[in-house]
Amino acid sequence: MAYIVRVTQEHLIKSFRYRIYPTPEQEAAFRRIDGCCRLVHNWGLEARLKQIKSAPRDADGKIIGKLLDYTAQQNALPALKSEKEFLSEVPSHCLQAALRNLDNAYQRYWSGLSEEPVWRRKGEPERLRFPDKNQFSINKIEEVEPKRIPYLRAVHDWKSACGKIEKQNARRAKKGEAIESLPDAPIRPRYHRSDIVWLCAPKFGMSGKDGGAIAMTMHRPIPRNGEILSCSIRREGPYWYASFPVAIPVGEKRVQGNVLANALVQAGEMDAIHPKGTKQKAIIADRDRRKREHKEKLRKEKVYLNTKALERTRVVGIDRNIGKPVVTSLGDFLGRASLTPKLDRKLTRLQRDLARKLEALRKENKIEPGGSLKGIKFGANVMKLKRKLNALHGRIARIRKDMIHKITAYLIRVGDIFVIEDLKLQNMTASAKGTVEKPGKNVRAKSRLNRGMLDKGHGEFARQLDYKCRFANRMGGYRKAVIRVNPAYTSQMCSACGHTQSENRDDEKFLCLSCGHKAHSDENAAQNIRVRGLGHLASVVGRDLEEILSVMDSKPRPGDHRLLPPEDWAVGLPEGPGESLGKTEEKKTTGCLSELAV
């Protein structure tokens, strides 16, 4: 698996993730290192919070003086090590990386890109990072000494032990004494195959006396011209993964391409859409200002977009739903539920078993039903259920992410500019429980709706589509962009005449009460989303919406013979003659176009 971390002027930082197979001893070492990194993180966070609370402020409430930074806390780390000697048993670079991550979190918080850093708690998935690229290496099996590989070292020790016992048994047989039985051979691990490589890092495979090299499946190669920057190890359920951010050089000649998408990128359309933190308003105001300046620049320079540029541009409207996760204006119905009925039954059973055991534990410790179990030690059966539940959640998440990766990869191949709804998912999936004074209504129905919406991964879909557009911009030589539009009334508006009425839609069927237009309701919404995106595009490039529509929808554009979407993720085609996965009925876009534009 690979995903974009960030883009710089000269390099594209792309992360490659691989499955690793640590031994039980190596897993225990990972947990010890993570525990020490968690302690250092919380120690650094506590020092920063104390300083912020006690720092002097001016009349406007701003802090006077310099705050703690990474350098100051790194210099104080040796004193903490002398106080807590067990910190010296783990790699020092991992502890420094924990402080660096904390400093980066504060920098993002002050820039308005994220929320304020929080405490790290015990029980969270273990994670650690080796920040120095010279401190780890990826080697083939013939490049590693046998004593650094745990299984081969165990085989060597077993053969040595067997040789000693056989010599002792020979002497005992001459004396008529009892013969000692030979020990069992070490179990050959399932990952010990020819395609396994070995990850050597501090305390793991750097010498013959440490925990040994870590087995890793390198299912895809790292680019030869790329430079590995660091190594991060993380647990997801029962599985462990290693991630390597790689800096890939990008040539300047590759950044030219589609002029429409290029205008959107220059106007700041690909900036953070929903910034968080104290500088949220300032970031939004700066982005709007740059959009106005870019539009005025285009008007003054009288930028002319020729007909050929419009014909080559594929603008795709995308409607995200619960029943059919992704429906496009091209007529594609993509995706399915990641939580299948079989997995749902298994998940329900495990959750009920865990809830029953936790209630028994509360009753045993005389805690009221639903009360906190903080400080209570869980038994082996409870921990076993927790591990099974975490493993199942991880499996469902991997199914969902794999589905979204396939859908977004297909869309990137067939489109240039993608228009999606600007959904406020956090508000849409909020609980309807209410309070004791004002209890909510239809709580169970809203809970099922929230569960179905979160299962489709609409937020992850938007994130992946955004970063893959950035990747295509830097590596593919063809500009791609994402436009977010107002989602209001897109499912009730007729894409043919613009008539808006709630009675137009009946579940999956759309019948306009004004002009009689028939279509699948989700496909009709995708058409409306596309036209709203075209209206936004027209305002950015300084052209008239009617002019853009007359060119883009007048004749077939290159790419109409596009590849079919992955069959595994195609579901529920609309009913009706002549409609298929690759062919769509022509939609009339004339009429109340001013109402569709935003």
Secondary structure, 3-state, 377-436: CCCHHHHHHHHHHHHHHHHHHHHHHHHHHHHHHHHHHHCCEEEEECCCHHHHCCCCCECC
The whole-chain average pLDDT of the chain stands at 78
Q: pLDDT-based confidence at 241, cuts 50/70/90? A: very high
Q: Can you tell me the distance from the alpha carbon of 488 to that of 133, in angstroms, rounded to the nearest whole number?
A: 49
Residue 310 has a pLDDT of 66
185 lies in some domain: no
Q: Which of 590, 588, 561, 550 is nearest to 307 (CA)?
A: 550
Tell the residue number behind the tokens 């008239």, with chain if given: 544
Tell the residue number behind the tokens 């199914």, with chain if given: 399
Catalytic hit among 421, 466, 523, 553: 421
- In terms of domains, do 235 and 267 share one? no
| pLDDT(333) > 80 | yes
| pLDDT(259) > 60 | no
Asked if residues 80 and 246 have their Cβ atoms less than 8 Å apart, the reply is no
* pLDDT average, residue stretch 370-381: 85
Q: Which of 241, 195, 209 is nearest to 19 (CA)?
A: 241
523 lies in some domain: yes
Count of Cβ atoms closer than 10 Å to residue 168 Cβ? 13
Q: Which tens digit of pLDDT belongs to each residue from 224-234?
A: 888 899 999 99
Residue 309 has a pLDDT of 61
Residue 261 has a pLDDT of 61
- In terms of domains, do 400 and 445 share one? yes
Q: Can you tell me the distance from the alpha carbon of 366 to that of 381, in angstroms, rounded to the nearest whole number?
A: 20
160 lies in some domain: no
Residue 5 has a pLDDT of 45
| pLDDT(1) > 70 | no
Q: Indicate the burial class of 68 (C-beta count within 10 angstroms; 0-12, 13-18, 19 or more).
A: middle
**41-45, 108-112, 353-357: the lowest-pLDDT one:** 108-112
Q: Which tens digit of pLDDT belongs to each residue from 63-115?
A: 777 888 999 999 999 999 999 999 999 999 999 999 999 999 999 888 888 88
- In terms of domains, do 264 and 237 share one? no
- In terms of domains, do 407 and 488 share one? yes
Residue 415 has a pLDDT of 85
- In terms of domains, do 334 and 469 share one? yes
Q: Which tens digit of pLDDT belongs to each residue from 494-506?
A: 988 888 888 888 8
Domain that holds residue 95: 2-134+216-250
Query: What does residue 130 show for φ and ψ, rounded to 5 degrees?
Result: -105, 105
331 lies in some domain: yes
User: Encoding tokens for residue 387?
Assistant: 């591990």
Q: How many CA atoms lie within 13 A of 553 on its CB side?
A: 20
- In terms of domains, do 318 and 426 share one? yes
* pLDDT average, residue stretch 48-71: 84
Q: Which run of H or E residues covers position 6? A: strand 2-7
* pLDDT average, residue stretch 500-515: 87
Residue 284 has a pLDDT of 66
User: Encoding tokens for residue 74?
Assistant: 């790194």
Q: pLDDT-based confidence at 567, cuts 50/70/90? A: very low
* pLDDT average, residue stretch 369-381: 85
Q: Is 394 left (phi over 0), alpha (psi -120 to 50) or beta?
A: alpha
Q: Can you tell me the distance from the alpha carbon of 154 to that of 188, in angstroms, rounded to the nearest whole number?
A: 10
153 lies in some domain: no
- In terms of domains, do 440 and 304 share one? yes
Pairing of strands 505-506, 509-511: antiparallel
Q: pLDDT-based confidence at 170, cuts 50/70/90? A: confident
Mark whether 522 is an active-site residue. Answer: yes
43 lies in some domain: yes
389 lies in some domain: yes
Residue 589 has a pLDDT of 31
Catalytic hit among 319, 416, 523, 553: 319
* 42-56, 175-189, 258-272, 458-472 — most confident range: 42-56
Q: Can you tell me the distance from the alpha carbon of 51 to that of 110, in angstroms, rounded to the nearest whole number?
A: 16
Q: pLDDT-based confidence at 583, cuts 50/70/90? A: very low
Q: Is 339 left (phi over 0), alpha (psi -120 to 50) or beta?
A: beta
Count of Cβ atoms closer than 10 Å to residue 513 Cβ? 11
Number of domains in the chain: 2
Mark whether 421 is an active-site residue. Answer: yes
Mark whether 402 is an active-site residue. Answer: no
148 lies in some domain: no
* 122-126, 346-350, 557-561 — most confident range: 346-350
* pLDDT average, residue stretch 362-379: 86
Task: Return contacts of 366-370, CB within 8 angstroms, 24+ apart.
Answer: none
Q: How many CA atoms lie within 13 A of 354 on its CB side?
A: 16
Catalytic hit among 269, 332, 522, 523: 522
Rg of the chain over all Cα atoms, to the nearest angstrom:
30
- In terms of domains, do 481 and 404 share one? yes
- In terms of domains, do 476 and 374 share one? yes
| CA distances (Å), origin 443, targets 428, 430, 431, 481 | 14, 11, 8, 38
**80-89, 122-131, 139-148, 196-205: the lowest-pLDDT one:** 139-148
Asked if residues 96 and 132 have their Cβ atoms less than 8 Å apart, the reply is no
User: Encoding tokens for residue 200?
Assistant: 């050597």
| pLDDT(29) > 70 | yes
Query: What percent of the chain lies above the pLDDT cut of 70?
Result: 76
- In terms of domains, do 335 and 473 share one? yes
Residue 224 one-letter amino acid: R
- In terms of domains, do 554 and 566 share one? yes
- In terms of domains, do 488 and 381 share one? yes
Question: Higher pLDDT residue, 137 or 307?
Answer: 137
| pLDDT(585) > 50 | no
Residue 569 has a pLDDT of 35
